[in-house]
Structures are given as C-alpha cells and as structure tokens.
C-alpha cells in the first residue's frame, strides 16, 4: 500500500486542530520552525502543507507576518440598498476600508454610459480594499460624476464611506438600480491585494446606484474573494 505523503498528514492534523477550535478564525498558526519541530520534518515539507491549506481557503499567508486561519465566509446582501458597513456589522464582522486610489479623470465610453454622462466627462474614482476583521474580502472601484460632486474626493479621503460622502454632497439616500454578477479569475494585482493565488476564483459585481429621482450617482465594480463572501440577493431590501 502506498504511504501517504508526510505533508498531507501535516495538513490533516492542522485541519483537525482548526476544526476542533485549537486555532480559531483569525488566529496565527505557529511559525514554520515551530511546526517543523512539532512534526519532525524540514521547513520545505511544512511549506507544502501550508500551501495546500492556503489553496483550499482554510488559511492565508501575510508576507512578513505569518499564516492565519481564514474567517468563515461573510454574508453580504445585495439588494435595493447595498451598504458595506451595515452588511458587515450585520454579519458580526468589523468593517474597514483601505484607500488605493483617489483621482479625477475622463470617463471611458462605457463608464460614461453607466453614469448617463457625455463621453469624456470627468469622474471621481475611488479604488480601495474592503476588509472584514482585517482580512481582505474585496477590491472595489467606484466612479462618481465630478461636475455634480466637486468636493467628493475630500469627503471620501476623510470618511472612506461612500454613504457618508454622498450625504455630505446632498444625497441623503440612494438605491441600487442594477447589478451584474460575473465569475472571474484573479489577476496578479488582484491576487496580491486580496492575498490569493493568481488565478483563484473571484466574483465581479457591477452595479449602478441612483438618487431618489433615478439619476445615477455611482457606478461601482467590486471583485469579491470567492470563498470569503457569500452574496445574498434581496431585491426588496
């Protein structure tokens, strides 16, 4: 009978440790050196086991920090009103955002069409990283009509919240007019930000938010990590 590879035994043992609560979601696993000593193997064998666990979504590695147990998938509602902070708070997670880009530029023809603008009109662009309990769950890009919201970038830089920034600009409420979901594979840049392997499955959501008069105020595209988020569709919410 063929012997089971040692790294597979390590993976099975660590998976059992996580399943039985020895290591909880968000906990850091012992270092490579500590695991090598525990199992009586070299670090290369430990790395192979960890790589397998990372690929399975059970753990994730942070460069320079170590290996951590992945959180359970976060329920994220997509309905009439999509609010990042409310969604994560409802799921019992701590929400946060990291700003990657804040800029004003000419819209592409597709972006202008989504926002109901003339071709080449200026738009504010807000790109960033969405986190749940300090773990990245999505990359987002939001675009807004610059002429209508001249001071929006300053508000976004301060609050990092689209809802808060739009409220400061006079839009007290906005709703989702449309959403399109598409399965994708993470490119190198997305994988780096989301702490994934290149080619890992992600879900692309493209949506248009409108003000109470039905005028587009935001065109947003979000790339969710496939195994860290469970999207729930609630059209009436």
pLDDT tens by residue, 106-150: 999 999 999 999 989 999 999 999 998 788 889 999 999 999 999
Whether this model's pTM surpasses 0.85: no
- Closest CA relative to residue 32, chosen from 70, 71, 65, 8: 65
What average pLDDT does the segment 86-92 reach? 79
Domains along the chain with CATH numbers: 6-69 (1.10.10.10), 74-234 (3.40.1410.10)
Instruction: Name the token pair of 179.
Output: 């959403």
pLDDT tens sequence across 181-204: 999 999 999 999 998 878 888 999
Residue whose entry in the numeric block shows the structure tokens 């508000």:
155
| Contacts by residues 179-184 (CB-CB < 8 Å, ≥ 24 positions apart) | 179/78, 179/205, 179/206, 179/207, 180/205, 180/206, 180/207, 181/205, 181/231, 182/206, 184/223
Q: Angle, nearest 10°, between helix axes 6-19 and 43-55? A: 50
Rounded to an integer, what distance in angstroms lies between the CA atom of residue 108 and that of residue 129?
22
């Amino acid at each position: 009978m063929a012997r089971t590879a040692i790294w597979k035994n390590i993976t099975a043992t660590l998976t059992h440790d996580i399943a039985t609560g020895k290591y909880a979601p968000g906990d850091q696993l012992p270092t490579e050196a500590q695991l090598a000593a525990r199992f009586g193997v070299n670090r290369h064998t430990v790395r192979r086991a960890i790589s397998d666990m990372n690929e399975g979504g059970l753990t994730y590695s942070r460069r320079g920090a170590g290996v951590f147990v992945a959180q359970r998938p976060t329920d994220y509602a997509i309905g009439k009103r999509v609010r990042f902070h409310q969604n994560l708070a409802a799921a019992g997670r701590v929400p946060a955002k990291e700003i990657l880009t804040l800029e004003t530029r000419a819209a592409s023809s597709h972006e202008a069409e989504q926002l109901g603008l003339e071709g080449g009109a200026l738009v504010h662009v807000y790109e960033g990283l969405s986190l749940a309990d300090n773990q990245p769950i999505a990359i987002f890009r939001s675009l807004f009509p610059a002429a209508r919201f001249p001071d929006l970038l300053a508000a976004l830089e301060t609050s990092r919240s689209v809802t808060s920034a739009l409220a400061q600009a006079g839009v007290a409420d906005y709703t989702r007019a449309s959403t399109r979901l598409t399965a994708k594979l993470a490119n190198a840049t997305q994988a780096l930000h989301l702490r994934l392997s290149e080619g890992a499955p992600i879900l692309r959501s493209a949506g248009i938010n409108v003000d109470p008069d039905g005028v587009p105020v935001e065109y947003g595209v979000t790339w969710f990590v496939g195994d860290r988020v469970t999207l729930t569709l609630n059209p009436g919410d």
